[in-house]
Amino acid sequence: MSTPGTLTPPLHQTSSGWGPFAIAMQQDEALSVALKDGLLRVEEVLLEYTRSDHAYISEITSHLAQAGGKRTRPLLVLLAAQFGDAARAGVVEAAVVIELTHLATLYHDDVMDEAALRRGVASANQRWDNSLAILSGDFLFARASTLLSELGPDAVRIQAETFERLVSGQISESVGPKNGQNPVDHHLEVLAGKTGSLIATAARFGAMFAGCTAEQERILADFGELFGVAFQLSDDLLDIASESEQSGKTPGIDLREGVHTLPMLIALAMDGSADPETARLQDLLHTDLSTDDAAFDEALALLRAHPSMGQARDVVRGYAEKAKSVLEPLPEVPAKEALRAVCDVVISRTV
């Protein structure tokens, strides 16, 4: 495998660049040092595994890794490992496997969504083309599998099951609700599969490779899935509510492209007969907003002020509070308080 060479890992950024997990850096000095040291090692291995002997391949496949990102999933691996022996072999490598898998899905997602931006830079499909973006995602999946094979058959099985859930969630989103299924319930099931499953495995891998008990693995995996859904829901709310590109994507892109996230689904389920603003918003949500700037601006303004935003925030709060509650049986170590604090951040950033 090639070495990282002179590439500089993106950890020169401050902890504010790590999204909700920046709070974890502030809970305990020793924990902060451990997480930062762990992330530096993750970045070194990550850059190694996103590179190829072919310079052109390296340029594309390392594109998003070098753009940075919140590193939510590797940080969760490292935090979960704090409940055992975080210095054990396999913890850093497991974190890299999770991030490689996540990066690969981003390349594919951007093709499906025809996204122009990712992590504040041009998406791979925009900078190159769809075919190269898809193949780059495939390359990263292959690299994740290579590293995963060194972690043992149990890790391979867990990752395979996770990937099945992730892909099934993506397919379910594309197909839509089953006949008679509540669209909100369907949406939450999709998020549990396409987002929650990989974050659950991140927490599980951290516990697993740190030598935690099977019960601790289960608790942390349950936490990861609940937190993952809350995290994605809060990102979707930020996409609507933020005035800047704080989500790393163009604000309002889901609305613009007709992707109905939770507040939109809640609004669509309301009775608009007695509320002209709800009725108007529903009409706009059923139209093509991709090219009509005036209609898009109107829909965004109505949605930002609509009661469905408050109801969606309540759902985020419910998932985050439940994630905190499942942690109760775990020992009172700094990482536990950090995980609680991360859930509080996810709640507060959508208010």
What tens digit of pLDDT does each residue of 247-293 get? Answer: 455 678 889 989 999 999 999 999 999 899 999 999 999 999 999 99
Residues 261 and 278: their CA atoms lie apart, in Å, by: 16
**Which of 10-19, 62-71, 95-104 is least confident?**
10-19
Q: What is the pLDDT of residue 2?
A: 38
Q: Which residue has the tokens 């599969």?
A: 193
Task: Tell me the sheet residues that pair with 118.
Answer: 121
**What is the sign of the dihedral through the CA atoms of 128, 130, 131 and 135?**
positive
Whether pLDDT at 88 is above 90: yes
> Which burial class, exposed, middle or buried, applies to 263 when counting CB atoms under 10 A from its CB (0-12, 13-18, 19+)?
buried
Q: Average pLDDT, whole number, for the chain? A: 84
pLDDT digit string, tens, across residues 296-344: 999 999 999 999 999 999 999 999 999 999 999 999 999 999 999 999 9
Res 209: pLDDT: 98
CATH number of 22-212: 1.10.600.10
Q: Return the percentage of the chain with pLDDT > 90, whole number.
A: 61
> In the structure encoding, which two tokens stand for residue 161, read together?
């099951």
Q: How far apart are CA 172 and CA 166, in angstroms?
A: 10
| Same topology between domain 22-212 and domain 214-350 | yes
Cα separations in angstroms, 212 against 47, 84, 99, 110:
28, 5, 21, 36
pTM score, two decimals? 0.86
pLDDT at residue 21 in the model: 73
Query: Does residue 212 contact residue 83 with C-beta atoms inside 8 Å?
Result: yes
CA 1 – CA 238 distance, rounded (Å) = 39
More confident residue, 140 or 243: 140
Percentage, residues of the chain above pLDDT 70:
79
DSSP 85: -
Continuous segment of H or E residues that includes residue 177: none
Break the chain into its structural domains and give their ranges. 22-212, 214-350
CATH code reported for the domain at 214-350: 1.10.600.10
pLDDT at 16: 41
Give the model confidence (pLDDT) of 14-67 as tens digits.
344 556 677 766 778 899 899 999 999 998 998 887 776 666 566 665 655 555
Calculate helix-pair angle for 214-241, 183-191, nearest 10 degrees.
120
Say if residue 108's pLDDT is above 80: no
Q: What would the pLDDT profile of 145-197 be if each residue is shown by its tens digit?
A: 999 999 999 999 999 999 999 999 989 998 999 998 999 999 999 999 999 99
Is residue 123 pLDDT above 70, yes or no?
A: no
